[in-house]
Amino acid sequence: MAHIEPFTALRFTERDVSNLIAPPYDILDDSDKAALLRKDDHNIVAIDLPHVPPKTAGPDEVYQRAAGELTSWLDIRCIARDERPALYVYHQSYKLGKKTLTRKKFFARLRLEEFGRGQVFPHEQTFGGPKEDRLKLTAATRCNLSPIFGLYPDPANEVSAILDNAIAEQEPDQGGMLDGVQNVLWVVTDRAIIEAVKGKLADKPVFIADGHHRYGTALMYRQAQVEETGEPAANDPVNYVLAVLGGMEDPGATIMPYFRTITGVPKITPDALRQALAESFTWDITKRPKDEEALASLLATSGEGAMALYVAATDVCAVIAPKTPDLLAKVEPKRQPAWRTLPYAVLHRFILDEVITPKLCGGKAPAIHYHKSLMESVNDATVSSGIACLMPATTMQQLRDICTAGELMPQKSTYFYPKLATGMVVNPLY
């Protein structure tokens, strides 16, 4: 079962935290960090991003400096620790096309489990890369500075209803605008409310939407503590990780598509691509969609598993769809049907592995670039004379079916929007 606990967070003492919160560390560079610190030199990025790029570990002194900075902020009460354990209700309001949506979530400590041994599931493959940077930062600060993002099934949105009632007559404790997204926080200390939420979560799985590396780092940190001091007590904070948890059926939850650009390919003509795909896919020439909303409308009426391929050199866009619903059954008979029918799996395992690489690239796999924006993918294809792969968004049902079947999606098959703000709460591991 998913085991959550309230905790006493470290939080900024300002009510308006617009200049103090930051995007996730792993999408920031030096210029982003500098821009955030120009807003306020107490922006959380000063501690959360001591070394750039964060995919490589920096020297020990940068992490010690970050820990010292956190201590000084506590000394001057820029940040303070709450007195009572709480769950922290967290809403993000944002625009999506012409609509304004609110994604409802809450912060809690989530008990760590090894993947495959409990109710916490990864949802996609992740790129390899060292976790030393996050591990060194965790060890130096003894805190989780950035949360993981977990989703749980809740068809009736019962957890959200409990928390909505808890904050109905309560003014937000903090709020801040970041990159056009309004982030709002309420502190809930009522023990009856906390126990009700814990009870509702107890029999639910949690699917990690974002933060696989942070979860892995928390497991590594716990193991290091076990090796150093022995097995911790059950309620020791080291057994938990900071998590933002939200219902999969929340009306404000959005999964955006993740686009690809195939680069480093010879000059593939649309005719050659069409002929190579003809046995297994339909091929319909169309006008290139101008944005994500137009793409979604186009693919929704183009058959199960439809995606679009844009050949930039000749300015040709085609919508393709598998002629058979389980196209991957022959090449991946041991994989679960939920995985085999996912468009991202079809793209990587069939179109790239079985068609483009052997038939059009002489057996050498092309390079793949990943983009969160349709136009970024198209522009990359234009510059590189490549092919933009304009993908549909993965649905919550697909995510749930694949995770519960014990499968992992190809990397970057989901883009959960908006990104969580870092700095709303910090989880002390002491």
2-46 pLDDT, tens digit per residue, is: 899 999 999 999 999 999 999 999 999 999 999 999 999 999 999
Q: What is the pLDDT of residue 56?
A: 85
What confidence category does residue 130 fall into, taking pLDDT thresholds of 50, 70 and 90? low
pLDDT, tens only, 374-429: 999 999 999 999 999 999 999 999 999 998 898 999 999 999 999 999 999 999 99
Q: Which band of pLDDT confidence, cut at 50, 70 and 90, is reported for residue 55?
A: confident
Task: Give the start-end residues of each E strand in 97-173.
Answer: 99-111, 120-122, 143-144, 148-152
**Residues 320-347, mean pLDDT to the nearest whole number:** 97
The pLDDT assigned to 60 comes to 96
Q: Which residues pair with 427 in a beta bridge?
A: 144
Query: Pick from 79, 95, 96: which is nearest to 43 by CA?
Result: 79
Tokens of 63: 């992490």
**pLDDT (0 to 100) of residue 234:** 93
Model confidence at 305, pLDDT cuts 50, 70, 90, reads: very high
Mean pLDDT of the chain: 95
* pLDDT for the residue numbered 131: 83
Do 114 and 125 contact (CB within 8 A), yes or no?
A: no
- Residue 382 is predicted with a pLDDT of 95
Per DSSP, the three-state class of 26 is helix
User: What letter represents residue 408's amino acid?
Assistant: L
**Chain centroid to CA 53:** 19
DSSP assignment letter at 349: I
358: pLDDT strictly greater than 70: yes
How confident is the model at residue 397, as a pLDDT? Answer: 94
pLDDT recorded at residue 262: 97
* Residue 129 pLDDT: 58
Q: For 231-256, what is each residue's pLDDT tens digit?
A: 999 999 999 999 999 999 999 999 99
Percent pLDDT > 70 in the chain is 99
CA distances from 65 to 51, 75, 154, 165, 195 (A): 11, 15, 42, 42, 38
According to DSSP, the residues that pair with 13 across neighbouring strands are none
